[in-house]
Amino acid sequence: MAIRDSGRLSTPFCAPICGSFFRMNVSLSPVVSRSGRFSEGPSRDVAAFSESISFDWRLWRQDIRGSVAHARMLARIGVLSSDELTAISGGLAEIGAEIEAGTFPWNPALEDVHMNIESELTRRVPAGARLHTARSRNDQVALDMRLWLRDEVEGVLEDIASLQLALVGLGERYPDVIIPGYTHLQRAQPVYWAHHLLAYVEMLARDAGRFRDGRERFNVCPLGSGAIAGSTLPLDREFVARELGFVDADGRPRLTQNSMDAVSDRDFIVEFCAAAALASVHLSRLAEDVILWVSSEFNFIRLSDAYTTGSSLMPQKKNPDVAELTRGKTGRVVGNLTALLVLLKGLPMTYNRDLQEDKERLFDSAATLRSCLRLMAGMLEQAEVRTEVCARAAADAQLLATDLADHLVVQGIPFREAHHLVGAIVAHAERTGKTLDQLTVDDYQAVSPRFSTSSPTVFDLGQAMARRNLVGAPGTDQVLSQLSRWKAQLSPLSAT
Ligand code: ARG
């Protein structure tokens, strides 16, 4: 969530994000916890190549939460005494507080967040050496990622709902504004401004559904899968699952059912990144609309100065950078999904170190999507519609050419024929330099006697909008009821 994120960024690990992780006050000494199997640690080069702490530090809360649950379970089955459990839980809480405060002594030589926390705990609390009983970093990282994603999905859903509210709000502020709707970027038929915005509210609702749906599938506990083959010790997997909230609607624990799948499954990351990619594509389309709307050619809206930039050379410029960057960043989010799929496609069972590469793609997709959602919402909250420009554009009578054809249909003329007749009227108007609503009844009847004398009344825009009242159509009543439906659904934020 936004607040937590800023908390994280206040840790020393804002440095690694900026690519300067190794400027931290830490030594690249050989790995402390290397087992007896190795006579020396990895070379500096190898350590730098294989570390993940510069990005997986973000998992510290989840790592600690998982370790506390695991320790409680180890105490239940007699591996830890209650004093040892107290000491471990206290040590982990202390470490958490230090990470939060930015004073934890991270050590990149310890490779990743799991090793950093565990080895510091063991340095402080001897019983920490028992914590990794029947656990591997393979099931540990699978757990941490699921926990992280569960928290992150909450934040994404809130950000989606905020953007939806901003769109509904911008529609509500201009309930009477009508603009041309476009197909092929050619003026097609009139729509309420709010109807155009509500199209994006619908897209975002489907996005939210995809994130919720993915969460349903990944909210399953993998701990107890060990490195690949579970454990010979009598772990209580159900207890851990309950402790960590991996439960179904009836409170029953949800456990992964195959240890090999559990340690190598990254489907949930792909699903999240796929949902993020599609949501980004939606944002990119919205951004493109905004970019068109602020152009002098359209001139439908005005963005606040806070969301635009000037040109270093051309003094008159006011550029929609937030919208352009949102459109641009979509490339990254789509790329992250591709990178993940390619990462996974050739992996033999089960865990392979390649999987460490999933994190940067996931973190980047989540952070990029969330910042685009937030910025687009802020930009739209402050946008203003140039109502007079929209009214001029919507007054184009050609937008109602289809209404004229429908009018002929009501009089019994087959639609294909009506389409042809109206086409002839449009050509006549173009030839004579008039708009459709400027043609007289005589003009119409000169093209075809089938036009009744009442045909030109079709061009009353207010009446035309009132007529479009099928469910989902941009009719006056329909758009107002869609606006209030969405408003009720979104406030208070109810995306989860
Ligand atoms: N940092 C590793 C990752 O992100 C953690 C798992 C390491 N497991 C292992 N067997 N080396 O994938």
Domains of the chain listed by start with CATH number: 12-133 (1.10.275.10), 139-392 (1.20.200.10), 397-495 (1.10.40.30)
Ligand 1 atom closest to residue 113's alpha carbon, by position in its atom list? 1
| Structure tokens that stand for 410 in this block | 């009501």
The span from the CA of 496 to the CA of 155, in Å, is: 10
Catalytic residues: 184, 311
**Residue closest by Cα to atom 7 of ligand 1:** 137
Residue type for position 348 = P
Q: Are 141 and 115 in contact (CB under 8 A)?
A: no
Nearest to 203 by CA among 170, 155, 167, 153: 167
Which residues does a 6 A CB cutoff place in the pocket of ligand 1?
52, 56, 112, 137-138, 141, 351, 353, 355-356
| Structure tokens that stand for 373 in this block | 């959602």
The span from the CA of 324 to the CA of 257, in Å, is: 45
- Per DSSP, the three-state class of 319 is strand
DSSP 302: E
What is the reported pLDDT for 32? 43
* Spacing, Cα 458 to ligand 1 middle (Å): 69
**Residue closest by Cα to atom 4 of ligand 1:** 356
Helix (H) or strand (E) segment spanning residue 188? strand 186-192
The tally of CA atoms less than 13 A away on the side-chain side of residue 52 is 20
| Structure tokens that stand for 89 in this block | 């839980």
Q: Within the chain, what is the greatest distance between any pair of CA atoms?
A: 100
Q: Are 456 and 173 in contact (CB under 8 A)?
A: no
The span from the CA of 40 to the CA of 30, in Å, is: 7
Q: Cα dist. 93→65, 115, 261 in Å?
A: 9, 16, 31
Contacts of 486 (CB under 8 A, 6+ apart): 164, 168, 198, 201
The residue whose CB lies within 8 Å of the most ligand 1 atoms, and thus the one to mutate among 60, 353, 354, 355, is 353
- Per DSSP, the three-state class of 469 is coil
Cβ neighbour number for residue 46 with a 10 Å cutoff: 10
* Spacing, Cα 212 to ligand 1 middle (Å): 27
**Facing residues of 309 across strands?**
319
* Spacing, Cα 103 to ligand 1 middle (Å): 25
* Spacing, Cα 362 to ligand 1 middle (Å): 16
CA 206 distance to own-chain centroid: 11
Q: Are 206 and 480 in contact (CB under 8 A)?
A: no
User: At how many degrees (to 10) do helices 193-218 and 137-173 cross?
Assistant: 160
What is the reported pLDDT for 453? 73
The residue whose CB lies within 8 Å of the most ligand 1 atoms, and thus the one to mutate among 60, 62, 356, is 356
**Residue closest by Cα to atom 11 of ligand 1:** 353
The span from the CA of 481 to the CA of 350, in Å, is: 53
The C-alpha angle with vertex 333 and arms to 332 and 334, in degrees rounded to 5, equals: 90
Residue type for position 281 = V
**Facing residues of 301 across strands?**
385
What is the reported pLDDT for 33? 47
Per-residue pLDDT 10s for the chain (496 aa) are: 233 333 333 333 433 333 333 334 344 444 444 567 888 888 889 999 999 999 999 999 999 999 999 999 999 999 999 999 999 999 999 999 999 999 999 999 999 999 999 999 999 999 999 999 999 999 999 999 999 999 999 999 999 999 999 999 999 999 999 999 999 999 999 999 999 999 999 999 999 999 999 999 999 999 999 999 999 999 999 999 999 999 999 999 999 999 999 999 999 999 999 999 999 999 999 999 999 999 999 999 999 999 988 888 888 888 999 999 999 999 999 999 999 999 999 999 999 999 999 999 999 999 999 999 999 999 999 999 999 999 999 999 999 999 999 999 999 999 999 999 999 999 999 999 999 999 998 999 999 998 887 777 799 999 999 999 999 999 999 999 999 999 999 987 554 4
What is the reported pLDDT for 485? 97
Helix (H) or strand (E) segment spanning residue 183? strand 178-183
| Structure tokens that stand for 256 in this block | 């992964």
* Spacing, Cα 64 to ligand 1 middle (Å): 16
